[in-house]
Amino acid sequence: MAERDTRTVRVKNRAPAPIQISAEQLLREANERQEPGAIAPKQRIEDFEELSEYRGRKRKEFEETIRRTRSNVRAWCKYANWEASQGEYARSRSVFERALDVDPQDRSIWLSYTEAELKARNIAHARNLFDRAVTLLPRVDQLWYKYVYLEELLGNIAGARQVFERWMAWEPNEKAWSAYIKLEMRYQEAERASALYERLVSCHPDPKQWVKWAKFEEDRSRLDRAREIYQMALEFFGEEEEQLEKAQGIYASFAKFEVRHKEYDRARVIYKYALQRLPRSKTASLYGAYTTFEKQFGDRSGIESTVLGKRRIQYEEELQHEPRNYDTWFDYSRLEEDAYIASLDSGEAGDPDRVREIYERAIAQMPPSQEKRHWRRYIFLFINYALFEETRTKDLDRAKDVYDAALKLIPHKKFTFAKIWLLYAYFHLRRLDIAAARKVLGASIGLCPKAKLFSGYIELEIRLCEFDRCRKLYQQFLAFDPTLASAWIKFTELERGLGDEERARAIYELAVDQTSLDMPELLWKSYIDFEYDEEQWDLARRLYERLLEKASHVKVWVSFAQFEATVGRAIAAEVQPEEVEEPTEEAREAIDAGLIRARQVFERGYADLKRKELKEERVVLVEAWRTMEETIGDAEGLAKVDAHKHRTVKKRRKVDEDGTMEEYYDIIFADDEAQANPASFKLLQAAHAWAQKKAAAAAAAQAAAAGAA
């Protein structure tokens, strides 16, 4: 006998196969390759013995299933329905009852049980089951619906009604009541249906149920009864705000009901009654319905009032999201003011309390912090409120209270608003209470001095012609802030207006001696203009000289030169007789003297700017000089100006140590070139003269040729 090979078999290649096949792929391929029309084989039972064997096997399977998963309701129902399909109704009931012992609260068991009895036409059994089910599970609406449907299907309307009554005792939802009402209407029992609606609104007093009841009566053409139902609904909800908000739909339906029956006055009264009592921010839909109604059946005033109400709702909604949106408060208050004015214009008694309510609500929304930028818009609410009380309602005491409240709220130690102080003062002035106006402005200056307050107070005293008070106020003003050039200038204008030139000149001297001014150039110009108007030419020249010592700016040099030229023309106008058109010798001498002095100023200015190496300023001065020579000068003067003409050239320069170059434009003056390189300048000047001469000869030849032609 051959010996057995006991060697262990070893797998030489453990690498994965290039193609992996899963069980899912095998099943999918088997399904795809199945022949079309192939069906599972049916089991045929030939005799009673095979049937008994089949039933026994199935029962054993079902029993094993429910033993393993006793709480599996689907398994119980499947078992019982299989017994019923075999005609074993007693066994089927037994299985269902066993299932109910496991879970009597499961609705699916009851539904399957009753369906099996109904399929077997066991009506009595089905009724008993429904009766047991609704007794045990009265809150399962599906059981009640099927129970009622069974009784109605059998024609037992009284029984169906009895089932409904049992159901209604549990106060189910609105759908159950609607089903009961539809049952009565299918059999023309309108009175019973009306009584059911009454019971429904007692059980579920929702607005939509009241509306359904009223429409039901309207469809029966019982209009008085429908009206009575709407009134009952409104009485039920009462006058509380929360209840009124719920009753919006009732008001709208009631008004539409009246419109359908052409009772337009009734509908309008209903809309207005609702809108007066309901909160404005929550009646957008009702306002929309009212607007549509007025557009269809109302007049112009009615349409305007509805549009007004709609805009009120929009503003209320915006303010709910952002109560400190002062722009919205402005628009809202303006809307109410316009409505109040329109009512007065139409001869009606306006209601200012509505406008006041809006303003009071608006000023109650104080800014979140004591920063002036947050208060700028807010303070205008007080101003508009006070102006409304003064100009529209003529209630001056209220306007005064508004101003006082505003001034108490403003944190004057941090900031103030001159506008409201001045408006308050002029308010007292309009009441002819000058002492109160002065008291207000004096308090403002003492509490929070400000340039606008001083200026406003001084303007008030000027209007009252109290000039001594104005002088005292200007002294306080300048003591408060001596750097304001405008204040010094206005002080001198006051003295000039009063004819006291010496006092004005003294004020100017005090002003120019100040170490710091916000705009000194305006003050010096005003001082010089003052001396010019007084024809004090020497004093004006001294002022220019003093100003040049402080700031030798190109504008000062140009203004000084123009002043000298103007002085010459002014002196010439004084000595020139009016009846003589041509300038006299004396007038010509005055003009020439002024022109000479102006040229001297220009030359001094040019030399000073050249010494300071201010090229752009020299260009400005030369251009102003040229303009003067072209206007009132002569050829000799223009030649002097041309000696200082300039040109712009492009140059290059190093930017850093690496040798980086940049281009820039430089201004080169003719006198600078002549001073730096006299020989080349003379050659260049001769070339330029030759070019000009040649151009003039060519122009003359061209003109002669044109004349000969």
Least confident range from 439-453, 502-516, 692-706: namely 692-706
Picking from 251, 195, 181, the residue whose alpha carbon sits closest to that of residue 225 is 195
Are 406 and 382 a contacting pair, CB within 8 Å? Answer: yes
Average of pLDDT values for 237-247? 75
Per-residue pLDDT at 2: 42
Asked if the model's pLDDT at residue 677 lies above 70, the reply is: no
Per-residue pLDDT at 400: 92
695: how many CB neighbours lie within 10 A of its CB? Answer: 10
Are 486 and 454 a contacting pair, CB within 8 Å? Answer: no
CA dihedral for 302, 304, 307, 312, sign (positive or negative): negative
Per-residue pLDDT at 683: 55
CA dihedral for 494, 498, 501, 502, sign (positive or negative): negative
Are 421 and 438 a contacting pair, CB within 8 Å? Answer: no
CA dihedral for 358, 364, 365, 369, sign (positive or negative): positive
Choose between 12 and 468: higher pLDDT. Answer: 468
Phi, psi for residue 567 in degrees, rounded to 5: -60, -40
* Tens of pLDDT, residues 579-619: 666 777 787 888 888 888 888 998 898 888 888 888 888 88
* Single-letter amino acid code for the residue at 636: E
Per-residue pLDDT at 387: 92
% of residues, the chain, pLDDT over 90: 16
DSSP, collapsed to helix, strand or coil, labels residue 612 as coil
Q: How far apart are CA 179 and CA 144, in angstroms?
A: 11
Tell me which residue has tokens 């208060």. 375
Average of pLDDT values for 117-135? 89
Asked if the model's pLDDT at residue 3 lies above 60, the reply is: no
Tell me the pLDDT of the chain averaged across its residues. Answer: 83
Q: How far apart are CA 587 and CA 574, in angstroms?
A: 8
DSSP state letter for 282 = G
Per-residue pLDDT at 248: 80
Average of pLDDT values for 96-119? 88
* Tens of pLDDT, residues 614-635: 888 888 988 998 888 888 888 8
pLDDT band, very low/low/confident/very high, at 682 (cuts 50, 70, 90):
low
Per-residue pLDDT at 581: 66
Per-residue pLDDT at 314: 78
pLDDT band, very low/low/confident/very high, at 379 (cuts 50, 70, 90):
very high
Asked if the model's pLDDT at residue 578 lies above 90, the reply is: no
Residues 6+ apart with CB under 8 A from 122: 89
Q: Domain coordinates of the chain in residue numbers?
A: 645-691
Choose between 239 and 261: higher pLDDT. Answer: 261
Residues 6+ apart with CB under 8 A from 147: 130, 131, 133, 134, 163
Choose between 431 and 342: higher pLDDT. Answer: 431
Per-residue pLDDT at 699: 74
Average of pLDDT values for 326-340? 87
Choose between 527 and 242: higher pLDDT. Answer: 527
Q: How far apart are CA 667 and CA 83, in angstroms?
A: 118
Are 252 and 286 a contacting pair, CB within 8 Å? Answer: yes
Reading the block at residue 336, the tokens are 């109410």
Q: How far apart are CA 587 and CA 313, in angstroms?
A: 80
Q: How far apart are CA 435 and CA 604, in angstroms?
A: 58
Picking from 191, 214, 188, the residue whose alpha carbon sits closest to that of residue 201 is 214
Choose between 299 and 192: higher pLDDT. Answer: 192
Residues 6+ apart with CB under 8 A from 469: 461
pLDDT band, very low/low/confident/very high, at 383 (cuts 50, 70, 90):
very high
pLDDT band, very low/low/confident/very high, at 703 (cuts 50, 70, 90):
confident
Asked if the model's pLDDT at residue 162 lies above 90, the reply is: yes
pLDDT band, very low/low/confident/very high, at 280 (cuts 50, 70, 90):
low
Dihedral angle over CA of 226, 229, 230, 236, nearest 10? 180
Percent helix, strand and coil across the chain, each rounded to 5? 75, 5, 25
% of residues, the chain, pLDDT over 70: 88
Residues 6+ apart with CB under 8 A from 207: 233, 237, 246, 247, 248, 249, 250
* Single-letter amino acid code for the residue at 69: T
Per-residue pLDDT at 264: 78
Q: How far apart are CA 605 and CA 554, in angstroms?
A: 7
Dihedral angle over CA of 492, 493, 499, 502, nearest 10? 20
Picking from 310, 336, 314, the residue whose alpha carbon sits closest to that of residue 325 is 314
Picking from 589, 583, 547, 544, the residue whose alpha carbon sits closest to that of residue 563 is 544
Per-residue pLDDT at 401: 92
Least confident range from 10-14, 252-256, 384-388, 392-396: namely 10-14
Reading the block at residue 422, the tokens are 């001045």
Choose between 705 and 414: higher pLDDT. Answer: 414
Burial of 258 (0-12, 13-18, 19+ CB in 10 A): buried
What's the Cα-to-Cα distance from 373 to each of 103, 269, 694, rounded to whole Å? 73, 47, 71
Angle at which helices 635-642 and 615-632 pack, to 10 degrees?
A: 170
* Single-letter amino acid code for the residue at 559: S
**How far does CA 497 lie from the centroid of its chain?**
50
* Tens of pLDDT, residues 295-323: 666 555 555 666 676 777 778 878 888 88
> Mind giving me the DSSP string for 339-380?
HHHHHHHTT----HHHHHHHHHHHHTS--SSS-HHHHTTHHH
